[in-house]
Chains A and B, each alone.
Chain A
Amino acid sequence: MNGMEPQVIDDFTWRVGGPQGGGIETAATLFAQVLARGGWWVGARREYHSNIMGRHSYLDVRAARRPTRAFFERVDLLAALDAETLARHLDEVKPGGVLVYDPDAARMPLSKLPMLDGAAYKRIAAALGGGDPVLERALERYRESDVRLVSLALEPLAREVGEAVGADAITAKKTLNTVAVAASLALLGYPLEFLDAALADQFAAKPKVAELNRKVAAEVYRRVEPLADVALEPIGSPGERIYINGSHASAMGKVAAGLGFMSYYPITPATDEPFYLEAHPESGVVVVQVEDELAAVNMAIGASMAGARAALTTSGPGFALMTEALGFAGLTETPLVVSLYQRGGPSTGLPTRTEQGDLRFALGAGHGDYPRAVLASASVEDAFADAALAMNLAARFQLPVVHLMDKYLASTTRVIEPFDTGTVVPDPGVVATDAKGVFPRFSLAAEGGVSPRIPVGTPGAGYWITSDEHDEIGHITEDPELRDAMMEKRAAKIEALRKWLGPEEMYRTHKPEAGTLVLGWGSTEGVTLEAMEGLDMGYVQVRFLLPFPDLEALLEGKRLVVLEYNQSGQFAHLLAQETGRKPDHLIVKYNGRPMTIEEVRAAFEAVLSGEAEAYTVLRAGV
């Protein structure tokens, strides 16, 4: 952004940091909406602590001329709403980028930041030359990396501007987020009318608040001088585009596939889905918050047995509690979908950070052998399509389906073209239409292991369901021949499911002819594709982990790289087990922060140049 002529911007990242609960999420949503209205493809990611109020939180909003699915380590503009943001994001603004900060914050010594933990304090103090540095030193550090400093006392500005347009002091202070967004947009020269329209929309239910914020925005624009060499302009119209995160997309996919019942116990980051459906009764979904995950899973199983299309969302700790019932669903051939939002484990681990540490758990959860399907979504678009597919697979093959999501997908919001809901047709599965009297619910005359089904309560018929091994009408059996027949009938579903899906649903490729192939699953696809642009590499996104696609021919003679978010290389192990191929390079990350485009690019370049080790750990992120 140096030089005097305004530069054409193709790709721009705005970061806003501040205390959790202080409204920075509202600010980021507003910023994203304003750019989206101007035709930009926007993506926003959210990083936060397991805390209600006060701990450091930040969001990146990336706007580009083309759809993007990943984020950079270094941003173009950092709006620091508090002193801690100033301290934590050293070295994360691009040379030539902009830092908007409060001059009062820069006068604080590091030791006075109330929420800064000991490890971060030590690291930042050392980076700033030791002692108890005053944050002026942080400003010097930004300046040294060619960051332009814009001193703007946002809080006093909010108060002053708010009062100038007639609000009392407390109300005026609440406009801080609007002030931060307006100041950033004014600096970038983005037209006010888009902000004005977005504010009118954001506060549509509260006309007085909308009016105040619009006046405040206009006043900030009058006071803030645009940067001479930057011009962020609208590039088109948003048309029908939607702005949506992975949780809501997953909920929507399930609804399109006929979801009728969801029970849940609150857990981060999985609860957004049921919480969203609770707020939208037009979804037609019975949502029940229950006493624990045992109740959640068993209630959904009961609803499914009675004919409702049922699903759950949870994350690692909750899934651990559900495993006994998952086997119950497997044995009783009950359709059930669990969207498993992975977060940093083990145990409580990193509850608000991302990871792909539950793959092996999802594949093996529960005692005994029973068929299940496991698929992983890579994006918001996948979340919709996969949630719907999972519902249909569960219904068609009468088994539990684990739909792997993660915290990154849950809390990353993107502008995308609307989902084509017409492409989703709820699959009724194999239904018996003439059931009378005692019904062989678990009939061994079952094509692909699937016995025709009627829900419990179907008039004029009856059968039993038991968690014991059972006969065709559902009574308990310990007969050795029946046991074998039932085990074999259920096991047959996996091959039937594989055939029904076809290879095109099970994986997708990008430049598969390249000599070096990266393999990934879940949310690594976006960052991988962007990081490998221009490099002589191809990519394989494995969508189904169980059943596993037949990849042997595709991988023949290739150098293989696996990229995933866990310490042990869970997917790499699975790949070796399924294909006999051990990857040449394993690149992992487990600090809970999303992979950045820069670090993945560097790791790929090292692979291509021959400098990479067999095992590389990525460590970027705040």
Chain B
Amino acid sequence: MELKLADYKSDLAPDWCPGCGDYGILSALQTALYKLGIEPSRAVLVSGIGCSAKTVHYAATYGIHTLHGRPLPVAQGVKLANPELTVVAMAGDGDGMGIGAGHFVGVGRRNPDLLYLIFNNEVYGMTKGQASPTLELGAQPKSLARPNLQSKVNPLMLAFASGFTFIARGYAYDVKNLARLMQQGIEHKGLAMIDILQPCPTYNNLHTREWFAPRVYDINAEGYDPRVPREMSDAERAERMARFTLKATEWGERIPTGVFWHADLPSFEERLGTFLPGYPKTAPSTRPPGGESERARALMRGHRVAK
């Protein structure tokens, strides 16, 4: 049966505020899955806590709405148990860059084959607009009692430092390009992260749709090549790292979007496969049942007093 875009939409109506960037992200994700022809029942969306976390309920895939900060570990557990599934983890900026930041670094070091979306609106919307870790030092959106006393973290730079192999930025109101980025991120063999600029019409009166519109531009359309092959000279690598850093830290009159870094490293599943016989084919959720007793006996043989 031919899949339709409508097959990726659940019966539940979103309860986000009118004008919220989350609508664009949901739509882009459904489009990306549809365009890739991924069966809805073979995709698992995993979110944390907050407005962004509700996204999973609006897609007709499997959806896991986890704890604050924990979508990445849950998503990795799903993926490593059943590597045949398409797994997309998502988190708000507080979720992903604050309470869950340790997992961001951890997952980067592993490079599992999954896509991670950061819904970046610089505020904690669900708890009425507190400063998130991506809010600039000194900024004071309308619900803050005083200007922000903490500097912001740059998700692109942190992803780079942590070893993510696909690093991109999208814009929630540019659904077409965002869907394209998501498609690329899902197709990438390894860990892909998209930092999504997502205006919060209710609590972030500084970085609004009107503020972003004239600033965002596509670096790939301007000729930026993100590809980083496995084999390259140190000089070439250094040049690409410098180029990445310049683009990833550009913020102001012009705000870059697109793919910044696209490297090629063995995924965590491949790394596991070099030690675990048959993995990923023998992954715990996909292998046929049976053999448990034999496996325990194999272990026990090593403990015999008289070999």
Contact = CB atoms under 8 A, between A and B. Distances in A.
B299 A255 contact: yes
Interface stretch (A54-62, A123-131, A159-167, A296-304): A296-304
A426 interface: yes
A204 B300 CA distance: 18
Interface in B79-99: 79-82, 84-85
B57 A242 contact: no
Contacts of A239: 306
Nearest to B278: A284
A261 interface: yes
B102 interface: yes
B4 to A, nearest CB: 15
Nearest to B61: A462
Contacts of A241: 304-306
Interface string A184-226: 0000000000000000010000000000000000000000000
The bracket for how many chain A residues form the interface is 35 or more
Nearest to B77: A302
Given A464-B62, A475-B12, A282 B298 contact: yes
Given A281-B277, A302-B74, A428 B44 contact: no
A443 interface: no
Contact of B291 (A284, A305, A464, A476): A284
Contacts of B31: none
A325 B70 contact: yes
A593 B227 CA distance: 59
From A261, A263, A284, A294, residue with most partner B Cβ within 10 Å: A284
Contacts of A50: none
B75 A306 contact: no
A282 B295 contact: yes
B77 A304 contact: yes
From B110, B291, B302, residue with most partner A Cβ within 10 Å: B302
A422 B105 CA distance: 43
Interface in B34-53: 39-42, 44, 46, 49
* Majority DSSP secondary structure for residues of A touching B: mixed
A324 interface: yes
Contacts of A284: 276-277, 282, 284, 287, 291, 295
B44 A306 contact: yes
Interface stretch (A20-28, A401-409, A413-421, A519-527): A413-421
Given A295-B103, A457-B285, A419 B74 contact: no
From A283, A288, A299, residue with most partner B Cβ within 10 Å: A299
Given A282-B295, A286-B81, A295-B106, A238 B66 contact: no
Contacts of A295: 70, 72-73, 102-103, 106
Contacts of A462: 40-41, 60-62
B141 interface: no
Interface stretch (A99-107, A244-252, A546-554): A244-252
B292 interface: yes
Nearest to B291: A284
B296 A424 contact: yes
Given A242-B300, A295-B103, A459 B292 contact: no
Contacts of B284: 260-261, 284-286, 303, 307-309
Interface in B95-117: 102-103, 105-106, 110
B82 A457 contact: yes
B60 A298 contact: no
B293 A422 contact: yes
B76 interface: yes
A298 B62 CA distance: 17
B78 interface: yes
Closest 4 CB pairs of A and B: A260-B284, A302-B77, A291-B106, A298-B73
29 contacts: A241-B304, A252-B300, A256-B293, A261-B77, A261-B80, A261-B284, A281-B277, A284-B276, A284-B284, A286-B279, A290-B73, A294-B102, A295-B106, A301-B77, A302-B75, A303-B284, A306-B44, A307-B81, A307-B284, A324-B67, A325-B67, A328-B67, A418-B300, A421-B300, A424-B293, A424-B296, A426-B292, A466-B64, A467-B65
